[in-house]
Every structure is written in C-alpha cells, then in structure tokens.
Amino acid sequence: MLALAGHPLGLELVFVDPNPDAPAGQVAELVAADYGDAAALRALERCDVVTYEFENVPLDVTRRIAAATRVLPPPRALEVARDRLLEKRCFRELGIPTPAFRDVGTERELGEALSELGLPAVLKARRQGYDGKGQAVIEDASAIAAAWQRLSPDYGADAFILESKVAFERELSIIAVRGAAGDVRSYPLIENRHRDGILDVSIAPAPGITPELAREAEAHARRLLEHFDYVGVLALELFQVGGRLLANELAPRVHNSGHLTIEAASTSQFENHLRAIVGWPLGAVELTTPACMLNLVGALPDPAPALALGGAHFHDYGKPARRGRKLGHVTVCASTAELGLERLERLRAELRAPGGEAG
Ligand SMILES: Nc1ncnc2c1ncn2[C@@H]1O[C@H](COP(=O)(O)OP(=O)(O)O)[C@@H](O)[C@H]1O
Ligand SMILES: [Mg+2]
C-alpha cells in the first residue's frame, strides 16, 4: 500500500522483506533477504530515506542503516514501541493514562503482580507479539499456571508484562502524522472491533465522539510525536472506558485501522507517511466520506459481492493463504458510518468463503 501510494508521487521505492512472497514485490522492487543481510543493507543504505512498517526489524540493523542514511520515524520510536514495557512506561512519563501494569520476569513475579493488580488480567510478551499472539487472558486463579506454561518457553527471561484486563466500552485508534518541519495532523478517531485478537472491523469516524474525547486523543498523539521528534505516521491504540481514554499500544508506522483512509480521506495514511519522510508538505487528513473496513483473514472470498456493492472497495494483497493471516480487506464508504457498518455486515455474510475465516 506504501508502494501504491508512492508510485504516482514519482518516488522510486525499494522494499526489503525476508519473505519472497511479500506483496510489495508485485508492485515494486523487492530485495527478498533477511534485514541484516549484506545485499539488503546495501540496497537500503543507498536510499535517500529508509522507513519501516513492521516493529520487529532488528534494532542493530536500523542503527546501522541510520549511520549511513536517514531512518524515519526515528529508531528510538521503534525501540520503545517494540517493547510493551518501555512503551507503557513511556506513556506514563508523558502523562498518557494506561491500564495498570507490572513488569513480570518469572512465575513468582507473575503471582506477585496478580496479587497487586487483581483479576482478570492479561499476560503479554513484551516483544514479538502481534494480532493477539503472545498473550494470555487470566480470568481466575486456576488459569495462572497454564498461562505461564504456555507462554514462558517461547519468550525467555524478563519477557513479560501483566496488565489489568480493562472492561472497555470500545477500542479506538488515532492516526496522526508529523511532517519534517514538526507540523502535526490527526485523522478523526476510528473505532476498532477485534475477533480472536485480530482486528476485524474499523469504523470511521468513530460514532459518538465528543469534542473533549477527540481533543484528548489528539493531545496524546501529539505528545508522543513531539517526544520522539517523530517524522511520519504514528497510530495510537486506545481503550475507551467511561469518559476516559487509556493507551494500549503505539504503532510507529502506518496502521491496519487506517487502511480505510485510502478511499475515505483526502490523503491516505500511506501517502502522508511518504510525504512526511520525504520532507514534502503533508496532505489534508479530513474524511471525504464515512467508511468501514473489514479485514479478510485466513482465506480470500470471491470478490464479486464486494465489487457489486456501490461504495465498496476490495483489496487482495496477493499473499499465500494461512490460518489467521490478513490477506486483504474491504472498505465500504457510505453517507454515515452506521450505514457503512450495516452494509459491511450484510456483505460479510455474502463473502463467507468456503472453509474460510472471513466472517
Ligand atoms: N489490558 C487489556 N484489557 C482488555 N483487553 C485487552 C488488553 N490488552 C489487550 N487487549 C485486547 O487484545 C487485543 C490485542 O492486544 P494488543 O496489546 O493490542 O496486542 P497486538 O495488537 O500487538 O496483538 C486488543 O486490541 C484488545 O482487544
Ligand atoms: Mg494492538
């Protein structure tokens, strides 16, 4: 999606991905190699600017590239965002409220943290987790040992954070962009609904957002952007609890909930990310229409019902199918977010792929 946004701007883009099937290879030059591979480094170091859209790029690689050329967003933002403990501490230092959390290194510390935070709680791997992987919800005391035994072998020492499980009303994200001159723009708040830990549906603008809530989210995003002297797109995932917002996590990159900005905003998050890192003026971030997005996970359905629906846009990433994998998405634009959601849910039933998870 970055490649598709960069092409009409006249940008020459090179992508590095260890996976030779990476979708970028279908539309741009792809170096299929490990991030630290010599050929990959050579390809990146000769670029005017290097960015990333994946948190688990090794830090030594980003630092090496940063010694040779510009890396944006700044590697420090990546370092913090890829570690849930550093991330939550950073939120707290900046005065951004979060769920209660404790650092957990051992099973004994897990017990101590649980007695402080109480139940229910969520045990999360600090690093490498995504789409709900590396997490265990602990609803009652009988689940503690099983959660530890399931997760601890895969993530090593000092690898966890325990959070209070928040009874949120809904999940929101704010996508903001900071340009090279320090100017900040925020897209309207988006509501996100998850299934099995994976983003299922995004709704924009999130219905019923008060001006106070919008201002609060924008202020949090701005504080983070300024803290890192950030350039590019950043997404902040939030829980809405009563009239309050709690920060869940930070993505130092374009975000799944922002895919709908391709059709529904004046400038997509992908274009704005590229404009920012290249040092060009940012584009307008207002929505040109309400829209809802449905992720297509595990199997791609026949696109015909989506193509037949007015205001719907079908995206196939050209990825090999795999259980739990995001293979594409559909965005439905409509005159209101509620109407978009209604059409999207009707479409979901029609898109049910034989044996697939979409729906
Ligand atoms: N502390 C929490 N309380 C309640 N639900 C949570 C909590 N942390 C995570 N979740 C749920 O799990 C989802 C995935 O967790 P998240 O921390 O965003 O990890 P990732 O998106 O990297 O897999 C969240 O979007 C939310 O639905
Ligand atoms: Mg998340």
pLDDT averaged over every residue in the chain = 96
The structure tokens listed for 269 are: 């998050």
Q: What is the dihedral of CA 254, 260, 264, 267, to 10 degrees?
A: 20
pLDDT score of 157: 75
**What is the band of 13 on the pLDDT scale with cuts at 50, 70, 90?**
very high
DSSP letter for each residue of 264-275: HBSS-HHHHHHH
Ligand having the closest approach to the CA of 164: 1
Find the 359 Cα to ligand 1 centroid distance in Å.
21
Please give the share of the chain, as a percent, with pLDDT higher than 90. Answer: 94
Q: With the C-alpha atoms ordered 187, 191, 197, 201, is the resulting torsion angle positive or negative?
A: negative
**What is the band of 71 on the pLDDT scale with cuts at 50, 70, 90?**
very high
**What is the band of 356 on the pLDDT scale with cuts at 50, 70, 90?**
very low
pLDDT score of 130: 86
Arithmetic mean of pLDDT, 197-211: 97
Q: With the C-alpha atoms ordered 120, 124, 129, 135, is the resulting torsion angle positive or negative?
A: negative
Q: What is the dihedral of CA 247, 251, 257, 261, to 10 degrees?
A: 120
How many angstroms separate the CA atoms of 205 and 324, rounded?
27
Closest residue to atom 13 of ligand 1, CA basis:
197
pLDDT tens digits, 133-173 = 999 999 999 999 999 999 999 998 789 999 999 999 999 99
pLDDT score of 354: 56
**What is the band of 353 on the pLDDT scale with cuts at 50, 70, 90?**
low
Find the 355 Cα to ligand 2 centroid distance in Å.
26
Long-range contacts of 130-136 (CB under 8 A, 24+ apart): 130/55, 131/197, 131/198, 131/199, 131/324, 131/326, 132/194, 132/196, 132/197, 132/198, 133/197, 135/197
